[in-house]
Amino acid sequence: MTELLIIKPSSLGDIVHALQVATSLKAQHAGLRISWVVREIFAPIVRACEAVDHVYVFERAGGAKGFLKLTKEIRKTKFDYVFDMQGLLRTGLMTSRALATKKVGRSDAREMSGIFYDQKVALPPDGDRSHALDVLLQFCPVIGAKPELRGTLKFREVDSLNLRFADSRGGGKPIVMFPDSRRAEKCWGGFKQLTEMILREDKTRKVVWAGSNYVHDRGAYKPEQFFNLTGNTSLVSLPALIKRADWVISNDSGPMHLAAALGVRVMGIFGPTDPRLFGPYPLNGPTNFVVQAPVGDLKLLSAKDVYARFQKIRARLK
């Protein structure tokens, strides 16, 4: 049995990428047991992933006492490898406290965290112009695996019966939208208009808004065609909800990356961030699409333009 500790506390999109890497490692390395350090708010989705065997919860607000408690728990196990996929001072300190034969981190680690590693993995051939997931895949060769995605990302099942509200009339799959993002500058303001355009076009279609922060819909849509789950979307049910979708339309956010990882058709809306580095992976995948705002300014991207792009993509896929 090979014991691996992955340290990747946040954020959701980065965690999804790391879970894809963990899935690939499990597919390529027989007898691998994966433990994970994750922030409390993201712990449910890591626990639900079939590739992860044990979870250590990092309480960010716990201060020095909470940090010492966490590292004391980690030190109960002797690991063969520790992979610090975050590369910040606090994760470097976690790495230093772990008992492990080999401690590995990123070559682009920050805040002097690199001093705690025995080895730093090189960046991909494109260097700092590489996609975020390609950067994490470079950890694979450390344990003799190829730096590529293998296996299928799977989550332990939740009761899908409580997700029937998302279905369109006749049981059709809904369009699931994520109108929020962790950073305000990545939030596009046209989701209300886009929803109206989609529902006007097809009276049998259903649109579901989802996400951790509540976004008011102002009662503008018919209940049989629309459901607002924002502010009430659990991380445990998120994979099941996304897998139930016909399409996911999202800002640059964790749910967008999860949709791409699960093979659901996704259209990511990008402003200041570069989709070549942070878009749905892989960008040339048959179910992954991107709309880039003019000069990176989401205020210049109209709902009409996004709707036209969406219609064009759907027509091409028919």
- DSSP per position, 263-282: T--EEEEESSS-HHHHSSSS
In this predicted structure, what is the pLDDT of residue 191? 97
Other beta carbons less than 10 A from residue 124's beta carbon: 17
In this predicted structure, what is the pLDDT of residue 104? 98
Q: Which residues contact 4 (CB under 8 A, 6 or more apart)?
A: 25, 32, 33, 34, 35, 79, 80, 81, 82, 83, 143
Q: Please give the C-alpha separations between residue 88 and each of 1, 105, 147, 290, in angstroms, as whole numbers.
A: 29, 10, 23, 30
* Average of per-residue pLDDT across 282-305: 96
| Whether pTM exceeds 0.85 | yes
Residues 34-49 pLDDT 10s: 999 999 999 999 999 9
Token pair of 213 as six digits: 């922060």
Residue 258's Cβ-side half-sphere holds a number of Cα atoms within 13 Å equal to 30
Q: Which residues contact 107 (CB under 8 A, 6 or more apart)?
A: 114, 120, 121, 122, 123
User: Residue 171's pLDDT band (boundaries 50, 70, 90)?
Assistant: low
User: What's the whole-number average pLDDT of the chain?
Assistant: 94
Given a cut of 70, whether residue 165 has pLDDT beyond it is: no
What stretches of the chain show up as alpha helix (H) in DSSP?
A: 12-28, 43-48, 63-74, 89-97, 132-137, 191-201, 238-243, 254-261, 275-278, 303-317
CA gap 86, 106 in Å, rounded: 8
Number of continuous H segments (helices) and E segments (strands) in the chain: 10, 12
* Average of per-residue pLDDT across 223-233: 92
Asked if 213 and 180 touch (Cβ cutoff 8 Å), the reply is yes
- Architecture of 2-143 per CATH? 3-Layer(aba) Sandwich (3.40)
In this predicted structure, what is the pLDDT of residue 172? 81
CATH of domain 165-317: 3.40.50.2000
In this predicted structure, what is the pLDDT of residue 218? 82
User: Residue 160's pLDDT band (boundaries 50, 70, 90)?
Assistant: low
| Alpha carbon 69 to chain centroid, angstroms | 28
Residues 68-127 pLDDT 10s: 999 999 999 999 999 999 999 999 999 999 999 999 999 999 999 999 999 999 999 999
Judged by DSSP in three states, 293 sits in: coil
Residue 254's Cβ-side half-sphere holds a number of Cα atoms within 13 Å equal to 20
In this predicted structure, what is the pLDDT of residue 185? 87
| Location of each CATH 3.40.50.2000 domain in the chain | 2-143, 165-317
User: Residue 219's pLDDT band (boundaries 50, 70, 90)?
Assistant: confident
Token pair of 63 as six digits: 């201060």
Token pair of 12 as six digits: 């959701």
